[in-house]
Chain A
Amino acid sequence: MSLWKIAWRSMQQRALATSLTGVSMALGVALVVCVLVIHSVVERFFVNRDRGYDMIVGATKGGRLQLVLNTVYHLSQPVENLPYSFYKEFLNDGEHPGKYAKYVDVAVPFCLGDSYQDFRVVGTTPEMFEVWEPFQKYEFAEGRNFDHDNYFEGVIGAVVARATGLKVGDTFQPTHGVEGTEGAHKHDAFTVVGILKPTGTPNDRALFINMEGFYLLAGHAKDEPEGASDHEHDASHGHDEHDEHHAEHGDHDEHDDKEHATSEHGDEHEHDDVGQPFQADKRQAKSLTYDKHDHDEEGMPGHDEGHEHADHEHEDHADHEEHEHGEHGHEHEHAHTPLPESQREITAILVRCHFAASKSLLTKINEGVEAQAVLPDLEVRTLLDMIVGNLRLLLLTMSVLIVIVAGIGIMVSIYNSMSDRRRDIAVMRALGARRATVFSVILLESILVSLGGGAAGWVLGHLLLVVASPFILLYTGFAVSGLQFSWLELSLIGGLILLASVVGYLPALAAYRTDVAKALSAAP
């Protein structure tokens, strides 16, 4: 008969006390497991090296961490924007590449500042969901990606869909600012055309709308710089932004102010490369045939502030192109004129650099005063080390203390039983068991209770996560699964054995010191 079995039989003999101490250990371990798993999920959430981009470029105002928080995690408030012309420096426009284009694989713009209910609204381009593979793949649970040409389309994250109940075909009105805060006001409606599958990233908690539509919302147009209405070009960029007669780039100097002036006021006019970095020309040709709309207020070429999207009045329907909304078959009976580049701003640019080019690009951008470039992994690691890491340490310390208290409970339970078991120990000794043997039996008993309680706690912890995961996802956006494991959980085995050995030492010592002759002579 093994010593394990002898220890097991002793435990069975004191089933109630063993169960209670085991349960207390299980609860402690369950807490530790929950903390470990949730933290590993949080850490993965923050330190997601597979997001596809390795750099974020934003305005210099506001801290580096703030830029990462509001761009990657949709937290905090965007502080300042960059001129659209700066974004164009990252694009490769054929003959006229931007000055940073040679470093860049992919650059996707982000326009922030709006929200819907508790979730942030991000104005971006459809490339957001197409260009990050194989690092980050976005798939649609329903519907499709929004279209370049359909300005008032949007795609929503899985958590947003679950929390808001928005479905494909529904519309939502972003609020300028954060809902419930001073100055917040509702915008025109966007149609949900796609719902993303859960990604386990902060993007599950965001709504993504066509940047062109974002620009056309009230208050999103930058004030027209003096004289810019006649010169809608970026001098720093070195070439015209658009030219009525040259849909293709190339005409650098010849620029008809008069023609521009009319374009700003809604006449037929072709805009080069307006917010569509990758397939600009083709789409421009399509979108720029739109006629003048009733969007005069505050210099907004798109449409009137506060008017209903579906009620747009258009002076000339002859040139108006109907937009089919994919599988929904919804048709707009109007179109919008894109906001001129001079009135555009972007909040951030997500950049994936060419191999080994990130350092050079980082240096180049940060040498200037206009923008700052940050490496999100670095900033997030700093955040984790400073705050999240300490929080985990605190929670883990508390949980471990609970386990230690449970361990002390085991010690007290076994130690208290020693007076009842002194005779049994003496009998074993009389049968030939050595002191070390009875010491080991008591120690094994402590280890069995600890490991048994620990195993139950491990299962309980993961079961709790299974039960709680939908709520955690809903309220925090963290996709926690009961089947997720942290490698640190393995250390529980060693930790529990060590703890059991420590707390079992005292009762084991009592067994070791049992006076056999005295115990056998005592009345049963």
Chain B
Amino acid sequence: MLRLTDVKKSFIEPDGTPLSILDVPRFEVPAGQQMVLVGRSGCGKTTLLHVIAGISRPDEGSVEVNGCDLVRLPEAGRDRFRADNIGYVFQTFNLLPGFSALENVLLGMTFSRGRADAARAVALLTRVGLGHRLTHKPAMLSVGEQQRVAVARALANRPKLLLADEPTANVDSRNQQHIIELIRQTCAEENVALVLVTHTPEVADQFERVERLEEFNRAVAAA
């Protein structure tokens, strides 16, 4: 399902010297597998997720998602591929404030090949327990509710892969567990592979596969 091969990514520091962030010889996630990625701050977890999502392009290597090498796609192609195949849950939810809960979910569908399916959006929001708050704007929702909307939005296009970047970092422990269960259940129901980044051991402990980025990212080891 997901295979990274010899992926390297570096940034140019203000003084002009390159700073290597990622140097991953191999990283794979089979279809439907749910795994956790942990690592200290600054070890490149978010950068790795951006590369997998096609938001950032690696300097070298290949990123295959569902058999498609994203590195070979032009930017617009990566955008379209991301819309159709990859869901993304952000640490800070990143709901658009001007849109209702339902519209935020529909927004996720707008950029994919399929038509915006309002029935599915409603079903997803109902699935995450927000069927009664469809028209509420993010500001009218609690933090936990906002993250649940974000989960529904990430799953709206029936992705093959869900990337979750510390989805429980900003919620309390009760909501934390609820959200993790929600993500895992919905991914399981729709056979979606899950790569979840977290700093929280309680979260990581719930997964069978837990990878430490420092262990397979040679850039971190070199630093």
Q: Judge: A and B partners, yes or no.
A: yes
- In the complex, what residue of chain A is closest to B97 when comparing beta carbons? A13
Asked if B111 contacts A432 (CB within 8 A), the reply is yes
> In whole angstroms, what is the CA distance A137 to B106 when docked?
63
Does B83 have its Cβ within 8 Å of any Cβ on chain A?
Answer: yes
Residue contact A9 to B103, C-beta cutoff 8 Å: yes
A260 at the interface (CB under 8 A from B): no
Q: Given that A432-B83, A435-B75, A437-B111 are contacting pairs, would A427 and B90 also be in contact in the complex, using a CB cutoff of 8 Å?
A: yes
The binding surface of chain A is classed by DSSP as: helix
Contacts of A436 in B (CB 8 A): 76
Are B94 and A520 interface neighbours, CB within 8 A? yes
Residues of B within 8 A of A (CB): 46-47, 50, 53, 55-56, 75-76, 79-80, 82-84, 88, 90, 92, 94, 96-99, 103, 106-112, 116, 153, 157
Contacts of A424 in B (CB 8 A): 96-97
Q: When the two chains form the complex, which single residue of B50, B96, B153 contacts A9, counting CB atoms closer than 8 Å? A: B96
Q: Are B112 and A432 in contact (CB under 8 A)?
A: yes
Q: Could you tell me the distance in whole angstroms from the C-beta of A13 to the nearest C-beta in chain B?
A: 4
| A-B CB proximity, top 9 nearest | A432-B83, A13-B98, A432-B111, A9-B98, A427-B94, A434-B79, A1-B110, A433-B111, A1-B106
Q: How big is the A interface, by class?
A: 20 to 34
Minimum CB–CB distance for B101 against chain A, Å: 13
| Residue in B56, B75, B83, B103 whose CB lies within 8 Å of A1 | B103
Closest partner residue, chain A, to B99 (CB atom)? A9
A434 to B53 Cα, complex, angstroms? 14
In whole angstroms, what is the CA distance A417 to B71 when docked? 33
Complex Cα spacing A516 to B55, Å: 7
Query: Contact at A6–B107, with CB atoms within 8 Å?
Result: yes
How far is the CB of B210 from the nearest CB of chain A, in Å?
24
Closest B residue to A521 by beta carbon equals B46
Is the CB of A430 closer than 8 A to any CB of chain B?
A: yes
Cα of A436 to Cα of B79 in the assembled complex, Å: 11
The reply on A12 being an interface residue by CB < 8 A is yes
Tell me the complex Cα distance, A427–B82, Å. Answer: 12
Q: Mark A391-423, 1 if CB is under 8 A from B, else 0.
A: 000000000000000000000000000000001
In the complex, what's the smallest C-beta–C-beta distance from B71 to chain A, in angstroms? Answer: 15
Q: From residue B159, how far is it (CB to closest CB) to chain A in Å?
A: 10
- The answer to the question of A429 belonging to the interface, with a C-beta cut-off of 8 Å to chain B, is yes
Q: Given contacts A427-B96, A428-B107, A431-B107, is CB(A520)–CB(B76) below 8 Å?
A: no
Interface flags, A488-524, vs B, CB<8A=1, else 0: 0000000000000000000000000000110011001
Asked if A486 is at the interface (CB within 8 A of a chain B CB), the reply is no
Interface membership of chain A positions 1-19, coded 1 if the CB is closer than 8 angstroms to chain B and 0 otherwise = 1100010011011000000
Q: What are 15 A-B interface contacts by the 8 Å CB criterion?
A: A1-B106, A1-B107, A1-B116, A6-B107, A427-B90, A431-B83, A431-B88, A431-B110, A431-B153, A432-B111, A432-B157, A435-B79, A436-B76, A437-B111, A517-B55
B55 with A433: CB separation less than 8 A: no
Tell me which of A9, A13, A423, A431 contacts B111 (CB under 8 A): A431
- B98 engages A10 (CB within 8 Å): yes
* Closest Cβ–Cβ distance, residue B53 to chain A (whole Å): 7
Residues of B within 8 A of A1 (CB): 103, 106-107, 109-110, 116
Chain A residues whose C-beta falls within 8 Å of the C-beta of B94 in the assembled complex: 423, 427, 430, 520, 524
A55 to B120, CA, bound (A): 77
Instruction: Tell me which of B56, B82, B99, B157 contacts A517 (CB under 8 A).
Output: B56
Which residues of A sit under 8 angstroms from B107, Cβ to Cβ? 1, 6, 428, 431
